[in-house]
Structure 1
Amino acid sequence: MSTPTVTQVADGVHVAQGTSVSWILLTEGDAFTLVDAGYPGDRDAVLSSIEQIGYSLDQLEAVLVTHAHVDHIGSLPRLLEGRDVPVLTSEVEAHHARREFLEQATPLQVAAASWRPRVLAWSLHVVAAGGTTKAGVPQAQGFAEGALDLPGLPVPIVTPGHTSGHTCYHLPHTGVLVTGDALVTGHPTVRRTGPQLLPRMFHHDVAANRRSLDQLRRLSGDVLLPGHGVPWRGSYADAVDQALNARR
């Protein structure tokens, strides 16, 4: 197991970098919220990140899911085994997390792009991280509207496109926005860094994803935490503009 890098970006907000994907830990008092959870192979890294910030899995109050791709929920079945911890996401995405349907890049789509060296290397990495599993999270459920009464007081912003029920989480008290894969700052399959959209094959509906980003412009804060790439500081409107205008 590689030890993840954990960085505190605001009061009570930590970002951990695992197998080419990030997850977020929101702390308050003696409890914390976990946002996303990496690949199946990241389970030990998630536990390590919790220990690095001085907490234990017994203090986990809830898991929030931006979307139900395997690189964001893959570690949850083993991580939560035998534990009664709520797993919350949008109502639509809860069905996805329970694997009542599946919206992610197919093996055929990946194979068609594997002539690109970065895609081939990434796909081998995915296999090694357990990314071919179709296992879901049966206990996933939809969250209530408005700010959630959880450590971090996250406010869900439903942003369909990357998946049908993709959700970002705004932390107005600390000026942080968790964007999942609606807007990222890098990915192993591309060379470019900075605010951008993932390659088309990763999105369920590219046009819907682009429209959803408009919701982020009006939010207050200056720290953006993507599912892939490094944290970004600046206005969310600037990040959206850069992502929408980036050359693919």
Structure 2
Amino acid sequence: MEDHGNMERSSSTERLQPITSVNSGDGIPMGGDLYSFTIQIVNVIFYGKPGHGNEWVLIDAGMPKSGDKIIEEAERRFGENNPPQSIILTHAHFDHIGGLIDVLEKWDVPVYAHLLEIPYITGKRDYPDPDMTVEGGMIAKMSKLFPTEAIDIGERAHELPADGTVPGMPGWRWLHTPGHSEGHVSLFRESDGALIAGDAFVTVKQDAMYKVMTQELEVSGPPVYLTPDWESAEQSVKALAMLQPKVALTGHGIPVSGEYLQEHLGRLAANFRELAIPDHGKYVDGSDS
């Protein structure tokens, strides 16, 4: 592999998290070119049609120690020795970059993220600590164990194009949807209303252990324990609802589509403060100390 600089690991890619769900290992195709694959409690998205060479893209990179699972599923879907054109990150929390260094050791491809997320994948800046004091269930309480350290993928890190296009995904555009992280993005294809939402909203109540393990369907706001800016999070959900997506693949939970999606996403947008913002927590209360 061509050397593009040393990549530095951190606990965000090395510290295995002992939590999973009934959907772990499941893949759900949505249309001809979207495929949501669950690893423990988070989804990675494959964009592309099997049998079309390397014309595919990986969106997000799963939990720590998940690189082998991502590669195995990619080879099953697209064939061996067939790397993606690029990797797109909706954001760089540990459960979305956990397998990134491992897959980059196999695939020499560029990684794209919003300008504001680049410091978290180039070793410059760590995320704020999770808020274990936030109102919520058992996963919120155990979030103090979740890693927040930056990783460093060196020169493989690239800013998403300023014109809103998505490398390797013609017809798609990225939208800045901050709140859960300052550089969070979602991807949208207007031609068929397909939305890759990341964690701007999710389809499971991510702070509740039972609901995460069973993957009980519920269109919800972003995970409460790692969302430091609720005002921006609300505006991001409202902006996504205005797109009136016809299908949504999210970072957590199963894909949703049709009337269910539009009804429940609209309800979340209209009642975000009641449905998504916790009653208390250090970020809710305006303190990050």
TM range (shorter): 0.7 to 0.9
Preserved CA contact (<8 Å) 2:241 2:266? yes
209 and 120 in structure 1: CA distance in 2 versus 1, 3 angstrom threshold = closer
Given the two structures, how large is their TM-score scaled by the length of structure 1?
A: 0.83
* Aligned residue runs from structure 1 range 28-107, under 5 A: 28=49, 29-30=52-53, 31-56=55-80, 58-81=82-105, 83-106=107-130
Give the equivalent residue in structure 1 for 2:172: 154
- For structure 2, the 5+ residue unaligned runs are 1-19, 279-289
- For structure 1, the 5+ residue unaligned runs are none
User: Which string of whole-angstrom CA distances, capped at 9 and with x for unpartnered residues, describes residues 173-211 of structure 1?
Assistant: 343101111100114532474111134321021111111
Residue identity matched to 2:110: P
Give the equivalent residue in structure 2 for 1:186: 204
CA shift for structure 1 position 83: 4.0
* Aligned residue runs from structure 1 range 212-231, under 5 A: 212-231=236-255
57 and 72 in structure 1: CA distance in 2 versus 1, 3 angstrom threshold = farther
Identify the structure with the greater strand proportion: 1
Q: What percentage of aligned pairs have identical amino acids?
A: 23
Give the equivalent residue in structure 1 for 2:153: 137
Residue identity matched to 2:228: H
* Aligned residue runs from structure 1 range 16-27, under 5 A: 16-27=37-48
Given the two structures, how large is their TM-score scaled by the length of structure 2?
A: 0.72
User: Which string of whole-angstrom CA distances, capped at 9 and with x for unpartnered residues, describes residues 26-46 of structure 1?
Assistant: 014212100001012211221
224 and 57 in structure 1: CA distance in 2 versus 1, 3 angstrom threshold = farther
RMSD value over aligned CA atoms? Answer: 2.8
Name the SS of the counterpart of 1:217 in structure 2: helix
Aligned-partner Cα distance in 2 for 1:5–1:142: 31
Residue among 238, 241, 248 paired with 2:267: 241
Give the equivalent residue in structure 2 for 1:13: 34
151 and 115 in structure 1: CA distance in 2 versus 1, 3 angstrom threshold = closer
Larger Rg computed on CA atoms: 2
Moved over 6 A (4+): 121-124
CA shift for structure 1 position 135: 2.6
Preserved CA contact (<8 Å) 1:66 1:166? yes
Give the equivalent residue in structure 1 for 2:182: 164
Preserved CA contact (<8 Å) 2:129 2:144? no
Aligned residues: 239
Aligned-partner Cα distance in 2 for 1:237–1:156: 23
Residue identity matched to 1:179: A
Aligned-partner Cα distance in 1 for 2:227–2:136: 20
